[in-house]
């Protein structure tokens, strides 16, 4: 997709490492796309499939030639604050459902919610 597409996909996992991350990226991002990440070792092997540009937070680098992680960090911050402020505590059993809710909210943040919900509900009624 074009730069700045602004959609997120997220999932819960018990381990956050390259063995989980790389297959998720391959399944959800077009090969040859450019990834903007932090310098986490999780992304060490993505250069085989994607152009990889990153910022090094450990060196206090937060923006480098237009590369930053502010957008996705904003999503995670909103998710965490919403869980803490609204639900206070969630069971690991249902965590993916909460994540799904906030992915939906984020991806449709610029769309009137009611028509989207009605369309989704109609698909399940038929």
pLDDT, position 6: 73
Place of tokens 């092997």: 45
Q: For the chain, which residues score pLDDT lower than 70?
A: 1-5, 126
* Tens digit of each residue's pLDDT (9 = 90 or more) over 72-97: 999 999 999 988 888 888 899 999 99
pLDDT, position 111: 85
Total structural domains in the chain?
A: 1
pTM for this predicted structure: 0.75
pLDDT, position 1: 43
Q: Is residue 62 part of a domain?
A: yes
Q: Is residue 116 part of a domain?
A: yes
Q: Is residue 8 part of a domain?
A: no
């Amino acid at each position: 997709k074009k730069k700045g597409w602004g959609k997120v996909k997220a999932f819960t996992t018990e381990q956050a490492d390259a063995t989980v991350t790389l297959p998720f990226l391959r399944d959800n991002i077009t090969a040859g796309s450019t990834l903007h990440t932090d310098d986490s070792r999780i992304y060490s092997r993505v250069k085989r499939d994607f152009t990889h540009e990153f910022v090094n937070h450990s060196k206090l680098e937060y923006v480098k030639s237009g590369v930053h992680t502010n957008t996705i960090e904003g999503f995670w911050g909103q998710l965490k604050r919403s869980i803490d402020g609204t639900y206070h505590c969630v069971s690991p059993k249902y965590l993916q459902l909460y994540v799904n809710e906030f992915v939906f909210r984020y991806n449709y943040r610029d769309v009137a919610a009611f028509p989207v919900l009605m369309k989704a509900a109609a698909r399940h009624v038929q």
